[in-house]
Structure 1
Amino acid sequence: GGRSWTNKGIFIEDHQPRMILKPHNTSNTFAGGVGDPSAVASGKYLYLFYGEYGYPGIYDSASYNVDLERSGQCISVARILLSDLDNPAGKAKRWNGKSFNAPFDSIGAPIHSLQIPKSAGGGPASSPKGKFHWGPSVSWNTYLNAWVMLMAKVEGPSWQGGTIYISYNKNADLGNEKNSQEWSTPELLVNRPGHILWYPSLQPLNSAKDIANKNTCLKLGQKARLFFKDMHNDKAEYLSEYIVEFKK
């Protein structure tokens, strides 16, 4: 059960030189790093989709570049051989923009199609005005024959944002290195003005079909229940008020 977890070490990490400090970090949040992961198996690898929040280089207040920071942030991906999971420390490789060859504690490159363009308000994580997607939740959809990713969107300081977005990847096998990057432009799924929405995920229904198919949060069918954290008027609740039905 829940007490049987075994610490196998660090999967990926960022180090202090990449942390974005004052005077440039003014968003009332942490200084950088990686987090909010979602892992799926494809072929002989485990793929970890995660938020990339650090500076894509060594942060120096004298040479800081806001556009460079934005270019290196959003949702990224790393992978590790399934055969290495018993002893994984130091063995994961991050996507570097061309291939999975960046070390686990080096500089990764975000998935370009998930970044918000500067012209649409996209900005760095250190800014209270920068917009970016974060908090991926990935599942394989047997009805669509595609991967589905949910994500939240930051639109203000302290991770404020009242929307949830969805993206698709039609490549069943993520093993071809380019396949892991081919996500569709995120589309709006939920909009709750004045609320703060975090950590969306899709879960199976308690239906005979889902039970028979042994569906989980990692494998779903045409219909799934949507969960997310909703913060509003000093209340913070994990809600499930919607069923998502996919159409081809």
Structure 2
Amino acid sequence: MPILHVANVSKSYGKHQILSNVNFSADTGQILGLIGPSGSGKTTLIKLIMGMEVPSTGTVEVLSKKVPNLELLQKIGYMAQSDALYQDLTGLENLSFFASMFLMNKNEQKDRIAYVTHIVQLENAIQKKVLTYSGGMKRRLSLAIALIQNPEILILDEPTVGIDPELRKSIWQELDRLKNDEQKTIVVTTHVMDEAEKCDELTMIREGKVITTGSPQALKEAYQVSNLEDVFLKAGGVSDAHQGPR
């Protein structure tokens, strides 16, 4: 049974349809990439997976439970596109606050805070107020918060936007480690095609519809091209496929 299963999902706001009959799944120990241009519906899809929105039709199941389900929030790490941080608190105070929301004792909280702070390389700034952070530092803190409770599934909406290339590389190395060593399931939206190459499976979306799915290598072979941008175009994408999703 897949860790994440999206079945025949459509979403409309009034007469405006955002998603149409979307189907895909993700297994244990797998990185799934959601790829598509601005306005393709990926962020809406992320909100449906989190239970922040309800499908108009179809079902979303996470860990064999239909969402929305409050119990699942203990097991899902979520990083939104926009940083939801307390600006007047320090990085450490933000992490402590979010850690307190999960089922961890004080020692576990302390250990997880130290771990995630190291992963995102914020040791030197953890005692500073978030209002003094750069945009990249805020993204790093948001990722640390998504990891704080050692979730079974990670949902990351544009996790590396505004982060320098060296740190981006180290974050992807950590995502690989979480996938391989801890068998985490990770769902990532990205507009960076070299990041898409790092995913095990891709679901490409245009105008609210899935246009193709498969591993990066299988997709390139199926469409007889050498890069994923050309896969998107040949599968029915558009020339602005490199733009960031919203």
TM-score over 0.5 (shorter chain): no
User: Given the two structures, how large is their TM-score scaled by the length of structure 2?
Assistant: 0.29
Higher helix share: 2
Q: Whose relative contact order is higher, 1 or 2, with alpha carbons under 8 Å and at least 6 apart?
A: 2
User: Given the two structures, how large is their TM-score scaled by the length of structure 1?
Assistant: 0.29
